[in-house]
């Protein structure tokens, strides 16, 4: 698809909080697609990393870690009504920044709901308090307390974010191919009813990253294709999933949520130590990590159907992530050190030699068995499309760009989740940066080739039970 270089109007100031791989990768896209000058942009970050890149574009760079004590005094001179705060940081409370932006009248976007520093690994907190479910509940509580006001888009990177729009497109494609009348769903209830009619039991965020570097991982390094601190933080949280209405057997180490809509559960294991079976078209069957992500909860919640206190329908939803092979080795070493991070961190951008990030949604249990819909972006394509990006980061930064455009076009929507946005508009803006966007059916199930060498505890009557996906 030809690159769309349409520029979108924006006259305010832009503050980017955090300037790691995603902040650096999104900056050239923002300068390309927004009618904005470098003088309107300020970077506020905790590290010196990225200073050279900011200077290259003529963007102001403030090295000042944001804390509970100083974030208001640092940000207040930089933001006011009609401005935009893009939060791509770690260790800075999303909820605090959302409330701040509401007060000063600025737009806001983040890629996940972050706690203050240490919130993911604070041993004084219960595992339940460290879940993404709890973080989402805190954001929804702020939404209720703030009410209407400037748009604050939460959890909108590639995933969470882009994948929620993939789900809607996949449902419409599945409806078309199976002869089900989709009737142009416009409300949450209508989308949930469509998923129910189609018989979707399970939704995986199914991702396989095959990018490889010129230099392999060394002992004592954590290597990854996107934020190492971000990946380590979420990998140390409990594994979480939205829990479907078709599930028969509660996991022995599963714990229910005790507040809110209670749409899922958390496991007594970190996501970085929990594996599940999944499938993508290029990779085929694989074992991914059940890393907690906000979309596992928000998608399951959005597609739930209830009558009073009775649950009628909900798909099981979770992430099934196979990062690049060097990141898998890094996770094994990290776990072997009892979750103490290696002394050296290495982010793969310029040294990626080959590979593709295959990111999509896998809808299962319907009449066509499985359907994967998503983006297949190679490192070569990513480099041709945008500087300071690899295949993984570009899927994130393109989604950020699209959601920022949507927010400027819809500036008074209050706190909003990806499922509540116009999916067609988001995908329209993202598409030129996503490589090959495809929908592919398959005949795989998590029971394929099971028990061939050793007997296993499986549910052979219903392949779509969580116990069949989980690797034990």
In this prediction, residue 1 has a pLDDT band, given cuts at 50, 70 and 90, of very low
162-391+425-471 classified as CATH 3.40.1180.10: no
> What DSSP element (H or E) covers 85?
strand 84-87
Three-state SS for 329?
A: helix
DSSP E strands, 120-232: 152-153, 202-209, 212-213, 221-224
Is pLDDT at 443 greater than 90 in this prediction?
yes
Which tokens in the block code for residue 457?
Answer: 């505890």
Cα separation, 392 vs 390, in Å, equals 6
Across the chain, what does the average pLDDT equal? 96
Cα separation, 219 vs 217, in Å, equals 7
Is pLDDT at 221 greater than 80 in this prediction?
yes
Buried b or exposed e, range 240-270, using 16+ CB within 10 angstroms: bbbbbbbbeeebeebbebeeeeebbbbbeeb
Mean pLDDT of 31-60: 96
Is pLDDT at 419 greater than 70 in this prediction?
yes
Mean pLDDT of 116-123: 82
Pick from 110-119, 320-329, 423-432: least confident = 110-119
Helices (H) and strands (E) in the chain, counts: 14, 26
| pLDDT for the residue 313 | 98
Fold of the domain built from segment(s) 8-153: Rossmann fold (3.40.50)
More confident residue, 258 or 70: 70
| pLDDT for the residue 455 | 87
Domain extent listing, the chain: 8-153, 162-391+425-471
| CB 232 within 8 Å of CB 327 | no
Three-state SS for 241?
A: strand
In this prediction, residue 5 has a pLDDT band, given cuts at 50, 70 and 90, of confident
Is pLDDT at 2 greater than 60 in this prediction?
no
Whole-number percent of the chain with pLDDT over 70:
99
82 conformational bin, left if phi > 0, alpha if psi -120 to 50, beta if neither: left
| pLDDT for the residue 184 | 85
Beta-strand pair 264-270/275-280: unpaired
pLDDT digits (tens, 9 = 90+) for 322-374: 999 999 999 999 999 999 999 999 999 999 999 999 999 999 999 999 999 99
pLDDT digits (tens, 9 = 90+) for 52-61: 999 999 999 9
Cα separation, 259 vs 59, in Å, equals 43
- Find, among 311, 296, 307, 310, the residue nearest to 202 by Cα: 296
pLDDT digits (tens, 9 = 90+) for 139-164: 999 999 999 999 999 999 999 999 99
Cα separation, 196 vs 190, in Å, equals 10
Q: What does pTM read for this prediction?
A: 0.97
Upstream peptide bond of 160 is cis (omega within 30 degrees of 0)? yes
pLDDT digits (tens, 9 = 90+) for 258-317: 999 999 999 999 999 999 999 999 999 999 999 999 999 999 999 999 999 899 999 999
Which tokens in the block code for residue 363?
Answer: 């809808």
């Amino acid at each position: 698809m030809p690159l769309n270089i349409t520029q979108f109007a924006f006259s305010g100031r832009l503050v980017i909080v955090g300037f790691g791989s995603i902040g650096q990768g999104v900056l050239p896209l923002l300068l390309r697609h927004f009618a904005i000058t470098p003088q309107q942009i300020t970077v506020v970050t905790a590290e010196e990393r990225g200073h050279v890149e900011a200077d290259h574009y003529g963007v102001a760079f403030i090295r000042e870690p944001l804390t509970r004590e100083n974030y208001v005094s640092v940000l207040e001179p930089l933001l006011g009504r009609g401005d935009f705060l893009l939060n791509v940081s770690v260790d800075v409370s999303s909820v605090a920044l959302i409330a701040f932006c509401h007060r000063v009248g600025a737009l806001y976007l983040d890629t996940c709901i972050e706690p203050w520093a240490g919130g993911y690994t604070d041993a004084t907190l219960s595992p339940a308090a460290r879940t993404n479910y709890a973080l989402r509940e805190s954001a929804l509580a702020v939404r209720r307390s703030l009410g209407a006001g400037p748009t604050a888009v939460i959890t909108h990177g590639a995933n969470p974010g882009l994948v929620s729009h993939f789900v809607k497109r996949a449902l419409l494609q599945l409806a078309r191919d199976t002869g089900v009348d989709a009737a142009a769903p416009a409300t949450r209830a209508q989308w949930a009813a469509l998923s129910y009619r189609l018989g979707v039991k399970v939704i995986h965020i199914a991702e396989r990253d095959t990018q490889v570097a010129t230099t392999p991982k060394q002992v004592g390094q954590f290597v990854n294709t996107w934020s190492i601190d971000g990946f380590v933080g979420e990998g140390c949280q409990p594994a979480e999933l939205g829990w479907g209405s078709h599930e028969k057997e509660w996991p022995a180490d599963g714990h229910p949520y005790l507040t809110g809509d209670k749409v899922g559960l958390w496991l007594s294991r970190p996501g970085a130590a929990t594996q599940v079976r999944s499938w993508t078209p290029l990779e085929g069957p694989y074992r991914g990590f059940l890393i907690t992500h906000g979309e596992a909860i928000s998608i399951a919640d959005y597609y739930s159907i209830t009558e009073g206190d009775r649950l009628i329908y909900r798909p099981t939803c979770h992430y099934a992530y196979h990062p690049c092979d060097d990141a898998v080795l890094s996770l094994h070493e990290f776990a072997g050190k009892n979750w103490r991070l290696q002394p050296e961190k290495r982010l793969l951008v310029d040294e990626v030699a080959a590979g593709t990030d295959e990111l999509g949604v896998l809808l299962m249990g319907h009449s066509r068995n499985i359907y994967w819909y998503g983006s297949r972006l190679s490192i070569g394509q990513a480099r041709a499309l945008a500087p300071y990006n690899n295949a993984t980061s570009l899927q994130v930064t393109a989604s950020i760009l699209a959601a920022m455009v949507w927010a400027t076009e819809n500036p008074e929507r209050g706190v909003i989740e990806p499922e509540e946005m116009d999916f067609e508009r988001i995908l329209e803006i993202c598409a030129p940066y996503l490589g090959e966007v495809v929908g592919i059916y398959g005949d795989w199930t998590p029971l394929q080739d099971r028990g061939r060498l050793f007997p296993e505890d499986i549910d052979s009557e219903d392949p779509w039970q969580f116990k069949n996906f989980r690797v034990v």
